[in-house]
A and B are shown apart, each in its own frame.
Chain A
Amino acid sequence: MNIIVVEDDVRLGTAIKRALEHLAYTVTWLRTGAEGLEALRNQSVDLVLLDLGLPEKDGIEVITEARRLKVKTPILVMTARDSVESRVQGLDAGADDYMTKPFHLDELAARIRSLARRAQGLADNQLESGALSLNLSSLEVIYRNQRVELTRREFALLRLLMERQGKIVRRESIEGSVYGMESDVSPNALEVLVHALRRKLSPEAIHTVRGFGYMVPRDIT
Chain B
Amino acid sequence: MSRASIASRLRWSIGLLAVAVLVPTGWLAARQTLAEVNALCDARLAQAAFGLDTMISRTGLGHLASGSGQPLPDVPVAGHLGETPTHEVEVGYQVVDADGEVLLVTGNMRSLGVALAGGPAFRDVHIDRRRWRLYTYRDTAQGITVTAGERYDSRRDVLRALWMEHAVPLLLGIPLLVLALRWSVRRALAPLVTLADLLRHRSTACREVVVLHGAPQEIQPIVDALNGQFQRMGHALERERRFSADVAHELRTPLASTMINLDSAILGSAFDGGVSLPEAYASLQSLAHRTEQLLLLARLEDTTDMPRERVDLCAVARAVVDVLRATHHADGASLELKLPILPVWLVGYGPALDALMRNLVENALRHAPRRGHVSLEVRYAGPAAVIEVSDDGPGIPAERREAVFERFHREATSLGDGFGLGLSIVQRAARLHAASVELLDAASVHGLLVRVTIPF
- Partner-B contacts on A (CB < 8 A): 8-12, 14-16, 18-19, 22, 31-32, 53, 55-56, 78-83, 100-106, 108
* A80 x B253 contact (CB < 8 A): yes
Interface assignment of B263: CB less than 8 Å from any CB of chain A: yes
A8 touching B252 in the complex, CB below 8 Å, given contacts A18-B272, A105-B263: no
A101 pairs with B256, CB closer than 8 A:
yes
CB distance B412 to A31 under 8 Å? Answer: yes
Nearest-neighbour CB distance to chain B for A78, whole angstroms, equals 8
Question: Given the known A-B contacts A8-B416, A104-B263, are A55 and B411 also in contact in the complex, defined by CB atoms under 8 Å?
Answer: yes
Min C-beta distance of B214 to chain A, whole Å: 37
- B417 → chain A, closest Cβ, in Å? 8
**Least Cβ distance of B93 to chain A in Å?**
108
A81 is contacted by which of B245, B256, B259, B271 (Cβ under 8 Å)?
A: B245
Q: A18-B264, A19-B264, A81-B248 are in contact. Are A9 and B259 (CB under 8 A)?
A: no
Taking a contact as CB atoms under 8 Å apart, the answer to whether A11 and B279 are in contact is yes
Q: Which residues of B contact A19 (CB under 8 A)?
A: 260, 263-264, 272
B260–A15 CB distance below 8 A: yes
Residues of B within 8 A of A (CB): 245, 248-261, 263-264, 267, 271-272, 275-276, 279, 282-283, 286, 409-412, 415-417
Most central of B245, B272, B412, B417 by chain A CB within 10 Å: B412
Q: Does A16 lie within 8 Å of B416, measured CB to CB? A: no
Complex contacts, B260 vs chain A, CB 8 Å: 12, 15-16, 19, 103-105, 108
CA distance A78 to B256 in the complex (A): 10
- Is the beta-carbon distance between A102 and B258 smaller than 8 angstroms? yes
In the assembled complex, the Cα of A80 lies from the Cα of B263 at a distance in Å of: 19
Q: Are A102 and B263 CB-contacts (below 8 A) given A10-B416, A11-B282, A55-B410?
A: no
Least Cβ distance of B249 to chain A in Å?
4
A-B contacts, 11 of them at CB < 8 A, read A11-B283, A11-B416, A18-B276, A22-B272, A55-B409, A55-B410, A80-B248, A101-B252, A102-B252, A102-B259, A104-B263
Closest-CB distance, B118 to chain A (whole angstroms): 112
**Given A55-B411, A80-B253, do A15 and B261 touch, yes or no (CB 8 Å)?**
yes
Q: A16-B260, A102-B256 are known contacts. Are A55 and B272 too (CB-CB below 8 A)?
A: no
Which residue in chain B gives the minimum CB-CB distance to A23? B271
Cross-interface CB contact of B257 among A11, A31, A79, cutoff 8 Å: A11
With a cutoff of 8 Å between Cβ atoms, the chain B residues found around residue A104 in the complex are 259-260, 263
Most buried by A among B248, B251, B255, B282: B248
